Every structure is written in C-alpha cells, then in structure tokens.
Chain A
Amino acid sequence: MNCKEARQLISPYLDGMLEGKERMTVQQHLDHCSLCRENYRDLSQLSGMLRSMGKDIKPAPAGFTDTVMLAVREDALLNKPNRFGSLGRYWKKAVPAAAAAVLLVFYAIQGIPGISNSVTQIAEQNGAGQAQNPPYVAENPSPAPAASPSKDHDNPISAPQVTATADPGSDTPSHATSTPVLLSVENRNILTTMLVIDSSKDSGEVDTQVGKIAAEYSAASERLGQQVKEGVTYSLMKITVDRNQGESLISRLNTVGTVVSRQEDRQDISQAYTQALEQFLSLSTRLGAAKDPAEIKLLEQQVDGLQKQLGVWNQKAGVQTIVLWITD
C-alpha cells in the first residue's frame, strides 16, 4: 500500500469502519510511514476536538418557546414560507412580528345584509360597524384547517345572496347568515413598529412609565424579557394600541427616553385575506344550498374556521404593535 492509497483509508480507519485485511494493511503502513502517521494523528486530534464541541449543550435563548409558538400560530394562519424553507426572515424581525400575534382577539361577527354586493361595497358598509363591535378573546386562536377550494372560487363577487337574518348583537354567529366585518383593501396589512429607546431610567421606572402611557390610550403593555444583541442588553416591551392612535402614543414615548431608531414592518396579508374571503363566500353559498346533514356540518365547520381566520386578521390589522427595545 502506498501513501496515496493509505490516505484514502485513514479516515474510515479512524472511525473503525475497516475490517480484516484492509485494516491490517493500513495499520502496517502507519507503522512504517511517519508522514501518514502524522496525518493520522492530526485527523485523530481534529476528530477529538469536534466531538468535544458536540458535547456542549447550547441552551435556547430566553423567550424562544414563546417566539416559536407565535411563529407557529402565524404560519398556521397565513401559511407563509419560512426562511429556511424559501424566504428570508431574521430573528430580529421575528420578535415584533411574533409579538403582533400574542393576543389573538377577533371581533364579533356582524350580520351583513346584501352579501351579493361587491367586496368593495361590503367593506364600505362595515367601516363604521367594526368600531362599534366590542372585541372578545378567542379561546382557541388556532385556525381551522383550510377549506377545500370550491368551484365558485374564481368568482366570489357573484356569489348568490345569503339570507341575512343574523342579530348584530349576538355573539353566536349563524354560519349561513353572516359574513365577517371586512377590511378595506388598503388596510390589509399588519403594522409593527420597532423603536430603540435610549433611556437613563432604571427598568422598573421605565415599566411603570410605559404602562401609564399605554393606559392613557387604553392600550395593552407587556414586558417581553431581555435580548442581548451585539453586546448590548435590551429590555423588550410590547404595546398594542388602536391603529389610529399609534402615532400619538409613540410621540408620548419621548418622555421615557430618546428614540434612537425606528423601523416599521407592514406584513401584507392581502393575498391570504382575499383567498380566505373568496373561500368564505363560496362555501357560504354552498352551505345555503346544501341539503345533506353531513355536508352541512362539514361546510359549517369550514365556514366557521374561515370566519375566525378573517376575524383574527381584522383584529391584527386594526391595531398597531409597538415593540420597544430599551437600553439601560
């Protein structure tokens, strides 16, 4: 065996992958060739170091489970591609985006007469109705499985009228008679604003102050924990405020410290929203015409799931999530 042949076998020899004569031949070569023996020692040491590195358990960062669960819920809602699947998405972005989904609140379903009108008309009709309906918290924010596309999928606008007899005050929607409050096309995005605030106050004082400001706007504030980025420790807080009052609230945050950076993320949900809406209209039509009890039950489940999905988006698009990265 020459050195070239031996070098091809040193690696499997090291791993105990050689047997019998082959193993013995390599062993004999190593006994007589100092260069190959040196190569074997190098590879052996390298292997030892890699194994040693592999033994270290690296704990997941604080808040990892929460962020993962929010991403899972968002993914289930929007079925959007992830970074290692297809599109890029960094952790830094994941924090505010995930925070936006912490509370999955959706508005009560309001009965809308004249569903045969165009989508745009429906949206206009519901502009005022949305503000009047009190929100309630979904017990199970996870979405229902996506309904299978119907034959009417391509033409939702012309869906036949569904009998509109739902009581607007009722919190028990009738699947066959109502449609969710709809977002106008320009509002089909989820707005998250990330502010980096340099504050000289201690974290307790900052918490209190941010809480007070949030309360002035009837907004929810929450402490998300700490993140270390490039050697700097940030306290993370999240405020969820009515979208119309977001800017006003942000201007008040100047009293907490100096806003040194601001980034906005508008997550476009228009495509997914339109698809869900089309499915909703289509399935509602089929439900209205269905006679078979089993089919009715299945369609009711699908329509209910889509209603909830649309409701979740309505709520998320109706608020602005402000994530504060506060330095000490």
Chain B
Amino acid sequence: MEAFEELVQLYQDRVFTHCSHLASNSFDAQDLAQDVFVQAFRNIRSFRQDSDFGTWLHRIAINLWINYCRKHKKAVVISLDEPLVLGDNELSRELAAVQDSPLEVLERTELADLLKRALDRIHPDYKTALVLREMEGYSYEEIASILGCSLGTVKSRINRGRKALLKELNRR
C-alpha cells in the first residue's frame, strides 16, 4: 500500500493533467483521476512490468472516460442557445456571430477556455481522438491501439473532430 502511495504521488500531476483534458471541468477531472488510481490498484497485477506505468494509467483514464461517456450518452452538455460565460463576463452568441473568423474571435478572448468549451460540445469520440492526437501527442497508430479501433477510424475521427470543432467555434 505504501509503495502504491508513492506511485500516486509520482504520477498524480500527470494523471490529473490527462484527466483535465478529457473531463469538462475540474471537479470531474478530480473524480476521474481518483477513479483511475482506484482502478489501477484493483488491477495492479495485470500491469506488465516492461510497459510504462504512466501510459498504463493513461489508458485506464481513457477507458474510464469513454465508458462514462457511453453510459451517460455524453455529447452536448450545454444548449447551443446558451450564452457563453467567461468568468465575470458573459459573451453572447450574437456578439461572436458578427466576427469574420472564429480564430479572430479566439485571439480576442480566453483562448483555452473557449476551445475547451468547444471541445466539450463535439462528439466524445471526436474529442477523445483529438485530445490524444493534439494535446497528448500520440501518433495515429498509437491512438488506434489505445482506442482499439482501426487506423481508418482514427483518421476519420480526427478529421471530423477538427471540422466539428471549427464549426463549434464558428457558431460563436
């Protein structure tokens, strides 16, 4: 148990960062990260010594997240008509709609916040593929292995995910 506690200390920031990419808010990320370690402890015997423990934890996080999304059919969590709330400022869609380019809008607002909100609005399969590719830096082959799907499916999800994300940003 003490040895596992050391592992938690060692990997907690990395796992929490991964979970923050997947979950839509800090509380969900904390819950997810906690469940990752609980799950890891349950299945510690199945961990192969020759593989990377951090990657193994990451896969657990992704699997838990995907299962959670499937179970709760998590797709669009906020109404498209709902105005964006950015801290103390509220940005209405009408305001965003008058801008020429979604990227110009991004430059004038909280980039990461907007992008994260947009990511939360696209299909979770697309989001997961994009997070793994762009934010975690995995190759297409690695993503296919992690998600247990074909290379073609990965290509398709990343392609569609990017389009969906741009479309989401265009709406603002």
Contact = CB atoms under 8 A, between A and B. Distances in A.
Interface string B21-65: 100000101111111011101100000000000000000000011
Given A50-B130, A67-B34, A84-B65, A58 B112 contact: no
Contacts of B65: 84
Contacts of A86: 71
A56 interface: yes
A72 interface: yes
Given A53-B135, A72-B4, A58 B16 contact: yes
A5 interface: no
A64 interface: yes
B8 interface: yes
B103 interface: yes
B93 interface: no
Interface string A28-66: 000000000000001101110111011011111100110
A84 B68 contact: yes
B102 A89 contact: no
B145 interface: no
A50 to B, nearest CB: 4
Interface residues of B, number: 55
Interface centre among A50, A51, A69, A94 (most CB of B within 10 A): A50
Contacts of A49: 106, 111-112, 115
Interface stretch (A75-83, A261-269, A302-310): A75-83
A86 to B, nearest CB: 8
Contacts of A68: 8, 12, 33-34, 37-38
A71 B41 CA distance: 10
Q: Is the interface of A mostly helix, strand, loop or mixed?
A: helix
A53 B30 CA distance: 18
B123 interface: no
Contacts of A50: 115, 130, 134-135
Nearest to B136: A54
A85 interface: yes
Interface stretch (A9-17, A208-216, A243-251, A291-299): A9-17
A82 B39 contact: yes
Count class of interface residues, chain A: 35 or more
A76 B1 CA distance: 11
B1 to A, nearest CB: 5
Contact of A83 (B35, B155, B163): B35
Nearest to A76: B41
Contacts of B32: 83-84
Contacts of A17: 140, 155
B117 interface: no
B109 interface: no
B153 interface: no
Contacts of A56: 17, 112
A82 to B, nearest CB: 4
> Which of B34, B133, B140 has the most chain A CB within a 10 Å cutoff?
B34
Interface string A155-194: 0000000000000000000000000000000000000000
A11 B21 CA distance: 21
Query: 8 closest pairs, A vs B, by CB?
Result: A54-B135, A50-B134, A11-B159, A84-B64, A60-B16, A60-B12, A82-B35, A84-B35
Interface of A: 8, 11-12, 15, 17, 42-43, 45-47, 49-51, 53-54, 56-61, 64-65, 67-69, 71-73, 75-76, 82-86, 89-92, 94, 140, 142
Given A42-B166, A57-B14, 14 more contacts: A8-B159, A12-B158, A15-B133, A17-B140, A60-B15, A60-B33, A64-B16, A64-B30, A68-B8, A69-B5, A72-B37, A82-B39, A84-B32, A84-B67
